[in-house]
Amino acid sequence: MHCSTEHMNKQAVPLAVRRHQLVATVRKAIGNQDVLVGVSGGADSVALLLLCCAGALQESAKYKVAVAHIHHGLRDESDEEQKMVETLCESLGVHCISTRVTVTPENGSIAAGARKARYEALQATATALGFNAVAVAHHAEDQLETMLMALCRGGGLRKLSGIAASRPLSDSIVLFRPLLHVEKNELISICNLGQIKWCEDPTNQNSTTPRGRLRQDVIPILRELWNSADRHASNASTMLHAAVDTFDATVPRGNEWDRVTFAKLPIPIIDAALQKAIGERSTFESIQSIRDAIVDSNTEPRTFQLQNGYSATVTSKKVIIHHS
């Protein structure tokens, strides 16, 4: 369904929202370019939409705002959430495109499959509109949860750095997350200032998922100990992403290297190169075993069988990563 009006309705965005300090934050993140806002109907994405509209209403703004709502078809409430988003967009005078997607589990995970389908739909919608910017409403709580999960699950430096403030969706479209330093309570406050109701997704409190268990049982304790844990995690993520970008520039790409030259590199760079070639699911122990074989004095050929069809061969002259 499409809903649109000729102009954005300024009266639907209260002055208190238009003057909010986060309007400048959002405008700085997305620049002066047309932006497609992903809106689920939850408080986070509704607040982001209000902030984007507030920015677009400023005299210096030269960008348009449109909304994409993705209907995953996984919950009984999804139809009502779609109607709520479309009604909100009509009241704001913002063009809304709702898309129903089919979710296929990724590696056995419905959540991962839904995420993949969602971003594919956002990219397709932005392409159809001719927009180069997509904005979504991940916030500081999401950042803390993601970093804790990466730390406990294992992964490379990029995973440990948490959610990136921006990343490419395609060659011409960039995904922006301008609210990563903002706590959820502040986003709820913006919805209240706008006198806008939002939807509550019951799956967010589902304690049978790792993220839901973190939200219910772990994060509250961390906040009791350190009440700014969310914000501190987001600050750390910003620094870590910058450090990882610098580090990544020194890591050789590919799946085959001269062993003698490769062995002379610093150990962390060897490990990072192997992990990039094998993938994020490679274990620390596997990387360590291959790296030890690279730097030792043994010239006999050795082969390491790894997960997901990967293997590594270390000879006297070469280091080769194979994938069957």
- Which domains are delineated in the chain? 2-241 (3.40.50.620), 256-323 (no CATH)
The Cα–Cα gap between 76 and 87 comes to 19
pLDDT at 4 over 50: no
Q: Is the pLDDT of residue 222 over 60?
A: yes
Beta-bridge partner residues of 36: 66, 134
pLDDT of residue 117: 95
Coil vs helix vs strand at 67: strand
What was the pLDDT predicted at 107? 82
Mean pLDDT confidence for 170-186: 97
What's residue 206's pLDDT?
A: 79
How confident is the model over 61-92, as pLDDT tens digits? 999 999 999 999 888 889 999 999 999 999 99
* Higher-scoring residue by pLDDT: 180, 156: 180
CB burial of residue 137 (10 Å; 0-12, 13-18, 19+): buried
Counting residues of the chain whose pLDDT is more than 90, the rounded percentage is: 85
Residue 205 has pLDDT above 80, yes or no: no
What does the pLDDT read at residue 2?
A: 40
To the nearest whole number, what is the mean pLDDT of the chain? 93
Report whether 98 contacts 88 (CB < 8 A).
Answer: no
Burial class (CB in 10 A: 0-12, 13-18, 19+), 223: middle
Q: Under DSSP, is residue 257 helix (H, G, I), strand (E, B) or coil?
A: strand
pLDDT at 194: 95
pTM: 0.88
Q: Whole-angstrom Cα distance, residue 124 to residue 128? A: 6
Summarize the confidence of residues 234-249 as an average pLDDT: 96
Q: What is the pLDDT of residues 26-58, one digit of tens each?
A: 999 999 999 999 999 999 999 999 999 999 999
pLDDT tens digits, one per residue of 95-118: 999 999 999 998 888 888 999 999
d(CA 221, CA 223): 5
Tens of pLDDT, residues 54-64: 999 999 999 99
Check whether 280 has a pLDDT greater than 50: yes
State which amino acid sits at residue 126: A
Q: Name the DSSP letter for residue 32.
A: S
Mean pLDDT in residue range 241-246: 96
Say yes or no to pLDDT of 264 above 70: yes
Residue 245 tokens read as 């970008």
Out of 124-138, 150-164, 292-306, least confident range: 150-164
Cα of 199 vs its chain's centroid, Å: 21
Q: Which two tokens stand for residue 4?
A: 């649109």
CA distance 272 to 37: 35
Mean pLDDT value across residues 177-184: 97
Tell me what the mean pLDDT of segment 190-201 comes to: 93
